Amino acid sequence: MKTHNIIISGFGGQGIVAAGRLIAFAGMTDGKKVSMLPSYGPEMRGGFANCHVIISDADIASPIVSQADIVIAMSVPALNKFQPVVKRGGILIVDSHQVTHSDYRDDIRIIKIPATRIAMDKSNVKMSNMVMIGAMISVIGSPSLNSMALSIRDLLPQHMQYLFDIEMEMLEAGMAFEG
Amino acid sequence: MEQKLMKGNEAIAEAAIRAGLKFYAGYPITPQTELPEYLAKHMEKSGGTFIQAESEISAINMVYGAAGAGIRAMTSSSSPGISLKQEGISYIVGSELPCVIVNVMRTGPGLGGIHPSQSDYFQAVKGGGHGDYKMLVLAPNSVQEMYDFTIDAFDIADKYRNPVMILADGILGQMMEAVNLYTPATEKFDKSWATTGTYKKRKHNIINSLYIKPEESETLNKRLQAKYKIMAQNEQRVEIINPDADIMLVAFGIVARVAKQVLDDAKSQNLSVGLIRPLTVWPFPSKAFKTAAKAYLTIELNSGQMVEDVRLEVNGRAPVHFLGKMGGKVLTVDDIMAKLKQIAGA
């Protein structure tokens, strides 16, 4: 029985909640139990945003992640807030373009990936969340790439379907990154 | 069966449409706004009417009218908005009409905050409006239950000609989970009382809650109380885990989800802990409290409301402890474990 307790965090506008929704959707498509709890509040573009995602083989008790297996941090405040909740031996994935220096714990695995830079170079800055998801998938092997593709298709509104190929490309860029 | 990833608010909306909702009126408020948003988008296709009213008071009175016409009607809001609806709810009860009211609770008092809370428990189960009345109050704890309970709510309301409330909270409204979607077989209920036009073939039906003569008012009240007695006997719903445990947790809604996590931790630390989760908070599931537990711990996102009902049921046979959290934060597994250890050690 395997459970991934994930926190995705950054600032509003980076697609934090969209990323959580996508991972949960893909997890469901893989046949897993999933929950996704977004932060909601007055935060809009630029404010603090996070969401809790659980993907599990078993029924999920609480949807609230208090001890995370994986934290994705895309801003300095997000890193400061959620680095302490990574379980010992867990994984912290940091957008090293947004977070240039920090004190890191030595009892967790740190993965630094310049997701914003990669997204800006290859398509546009709004795709940095896909690069981060790709980095996560390459480490934990879930959700499957096939389910991710189905989920992106499903979640993109009709008039944005043209973004599908770019989204997949950014996802794969994240998966291929070796820091 | 079709499976979809949905927010709790959306699940209620979809379920209501499939249960035959034909009239909705409401006014936006966080954290329930996705509910009317979803209905605004999808209700027209199902042949229903969606109205964003000018106020919550207006919305509940529109629902009053629609219910009087015999169609399935619903309103939804979050705590401050539900307070505004109390007069209308009392009138709907007094007129013996069915409808569904959703409260996705946030913190209070006053405008409070937008984060999750369970501090409207008293308002929901003891009657927030005037007069001797009850609503059947369903307390879901997952997005699937938001869906299932909404479908049930319309049938229960029609069966008893009484409003039914779905008492959720900000987390349940906002979180996403997979939902199995289905369309229920529509039960037929007698609605010969509805004001649908006489066509000169029958006497006028009258929708009214005014009974000036004490005898008539007494008759109505006795009829309502007889109805509530039947509801209390037939409609109690509860989930019980580990009924033989030494300490029984009592929790509803989102807190019950945290409690389920606690059960796993407690087991690994050799604590004998069970859970009583009321699915109906009115009628309160009194049958569930005939356990041999040495202690009860009621956990809520308020200052201690349901705990009063727990104490009435336990009636001094065992100590009833309380752990609460106010202001929009949620009790954690650690909070509850610490309290359990304290109780077990005492």
**Is A8 part of the contact surface with chain B (CB cutoff 8 Å)?**
no
Contact with chain B for residue A66, Cβ under 8 A = yes
Cα distance between residue B120 and residue B99, in whole Å: 19
- All CATH 3.40.50.920 domain ranges in chain B, comma separated: 239-345
- Does an H or E element contain B241, and which? strand B238-241
- Say what the pLDDT of residue B271 is: 96
Is B227 near chain A, with CB under 8 Å? Answer: no
Q: Which of A6, A40, A43 should be substituted to probe chain B, the one whose Cβ sees the most B Cβ atoms within 10 Å?
A: A40
- The answer to whether the CB of B26 falls within 8 A of the CB of B162 is no
A62 and B114 within 8 Å at the Cβ level: the answer is: no
pLDDT of A42 reads 67
- CATH architecture for segment(s) B239-345: 3-Layer(aba) Sandwich (3.40)
Q: Give which of A64, A67, A87, A153 to mutate to test B binding, by max B Cβ within 10 Å.
A: A64
Q: Decide if B344 touches A, using CB distance below 8 A.
A: no
Distance between CA atoms of B5 and A36, rounded to whole angstroms?
9
- What per-residue confidence (pLDDT) applies to A44? 61
Give the model's confidence band at A40: pLDDT under 50 very low, under 70 low, under 90 confident, else very high.
confident
Q: Which amino acid is at A50?
A: N
SS3 B43: coil
Instruction: Kindly report the number of other CB atoms within 10 A of residue B240's CB atom.
Output: 16
pLDDT value of position B188: 87
Beta bridge partners of B296: B248, B320
The mean pLDDT of B276-292, rounded to a whole number, is: 96
Integer Cα distance of B304 and B307 in angstroms: 6
Q: Tens digit of pLDDT for each residue in B19-40? A: 999 999 999 999 999 999 999 9
| Residue extents of the structural domains in chain A | 3-114+136-155
Asked if the C-beta of A61 comes within 8 angstroms of chain B's C-beta atoms, the answer is yes
Q: Does A135 have pLDDT greater than 70?
A: yes
| Mean pLDDT score across all residues of chain A | 94
The pLDDT score that the predictor gives to residue B121 is: 98
Query: Are A66 and B334 inside 8 Å of each other by CB?
Result: yes
**AA identity, residue B108:** G
Q: Alpha-carbon distance A121 to B306, whole Å? A: 56
Q: pLDDT of B79-109, one tens digit each?
A: 999 999 999 999 999 999 999 999 999 999 9
Nearest to B176 among A33, A35, A62 (CB): A35
- The distance of A38 to chain B (nearest Cα, Å) reads 6
**B5 interaction partners in chain A (CB closer than 8 Å):** 21, 24-25, 28, 34, 36
* Structure confidence at residue A45 (pLDDT): 64
pLDDT tens digits, B161-216: 999 999 999 999 999 999 999 999 977 899 999 999 999 999 999 999 999 999 99
B260 contacts A62? CB cut-off 8 A: yes
Enumerate long-range contacts of A151-158, CB under 8 Å, 24 or more apart. A151/A22, A151/A25, A151/A26, A151/A29, A152/A22, A154/A25, A155/A18, A155/A21, A155/A22, A155/A25
Nearest CB to B264; choose among A37, A40, A61: A61
H or E, element range at B107: strand B99-107
On chain A, the residues whose CB falls within 8 A of the CB of B176 are 21, 24, 34-38
CA distance readout (Å), B167 to A124, A148, B278, B336: 43, 35, 12, 23
B301-317 pLDDT, tens per residue?
Answer: 999 999 999 999 999 99
> Which residue on chain A is closest to B5 by alpha carbon?
A25
The CATH code that applies to domain B2-234 is 3.40.50.970
Question: Which residue spans of chain B are classified as CATH 3.40.50.970?
Answer: 2-234
**What's the confidence (pLDDT) of residue B340?**
97
What average pLDDT does the structure give for chain B?
Answer: 97
Pick the residue from chain A with its C-alpha nearest to B257.
A62
The pLDDT tens digits of the residues spanning B206-262 come to 999 999 999 999 999 999 999 999 999 999 999 999 999 999 999 999 999 999 999
Taking residue B299's Cβ as centre, other Cβ atoms within 10 Å add up to: 27
Q: Indicate the pLDDT class of residue A43, thresholds 50, 70 and 90.
A: low
What homologous superfamily does CATH list for A3-114+136-155?
Pyruvate-ferredoxin oxidoreductase, PFOR, domain III (3.40.920.10)
Token pair in block for residue B110: 């006053």
Q: Does B5 touch chain A (CB under 8 A)?
A: yes
The pLDDT assigned to B291 comes to 87
For residue A11, give how far its alpha carbon lies from the nearest alpha carbon of chain B (Å): 19
Average pLDDT over residues A117-145: 95
pLDDT at B42: 97
Q: Which helix (H) or strand (E) holds A23?
A: helix A16-29
Q: Best residue in A3, A17, A62 to probe B by mutation, most B CBs within 10 Å?
A: A62
Per-residue model confidence (pLDDT) at position B102: 98
